[in-house]
Structures are given as C-alpha cells and as structure tokens.
Structure 1
Amino acid sequence: LDGLGLMGYEAALGRDYPVVFGSLFIFTLLGLLVKLAGDLAYSLVDPRIDFAARKQ
C-alpha cells in the first residue's frame, strides 16, 4: 500500500475519477476489515461479550 495515498491525492488533483474511486474503495474496504478484526478480537479478549445473545 506504499504510495497509494499519494496516488489518490494526485488523482483527485488531476480529476482522474476512476483512480479516485478505486483508491476510495480500497481504503474503505481496508477500514471495514480492520473494524471487523477489532470486533472479533474484542470478543476473544473479553469472553463476556457475546454477539449471538443480542438477538431481538
């Protein structure tokens, strides 16, 4: 991912919209995966957390 932020920034300045949307998609996907990993790790660290018990 080295240089991806700079590439997205330069694409935004140059109005290269496919590259802007592609970099936005990659960063959003990466953020969602990190959030999911954090939630799963949180449930492993604290066994009192049970996502299945929250059904309504």
Structure 2
Amino acid sequence: GSVLIETIFSLDGLGRLGFEAAVGRDYPVMFGTLFLFGLIGLLVGLLSDLMYVLV
C-alpha cells in the first residue's frame, strides 16, 4: 500500500526504499524495512488493545 501511495504522489519513503531494495537484492535494507513495518504494526495493535480497555 505505501509503495503505491509514494509512487502516485512522488514521495520517497520507506515503502519505496523497501521496494528498491528488493529489486536491487539489497537484503539488509529489505529486511530492515520489513522489520520496521512489522514493529509498527505490532505497536499499533498493542495501542488499539490498550485503548479498547480505556473505552
């Protein structure tokens, strides 16, 4: 999703960085972006669970 948005609006971000790393076979950068997106997803899930308890 982020690669598509970054391509449409001509932005340079983590989605494009991960895509270019995959195309260029730059594995450390590719796995770093995957780790970062996974970590962000986990943190958002944890935050939503905590907010559900408060509401």
- For the criterion TM > 0.5, the same-fold answer is yes
Task: Say which of 26, 29, 40 aligns to 2:36.
Answer: 26
Letter in 1 for 2:49: D
How many percent identity over aligned positions? Answer: 68
Q: 1:10 is paired with a residue of what secondary structure?
A: helix
Structure 2 match to 1:49: none
The Cα shift of 1:7 comes to: 0.3
Aligned length: 44
- Indicate the structure (1 or 2) with the bigger Cα radius of gyration: 1
Is the helix fraction higher in 1 or 2?
Answer: 2
Equivalent AA in structure 2 for residue 35 of structure 1: G
Deviation above 6 Å: which 4+ runs of structure 1? none
Structure 1 stretches of 5 or more lacking a match?
A: 46-56
Gaps of 5+ in 2: 1-11
TM-score where L is the length of structure 1: 0.76
Q: Tell me how far 1:31 sits from its aligned partner.
A: 0.3
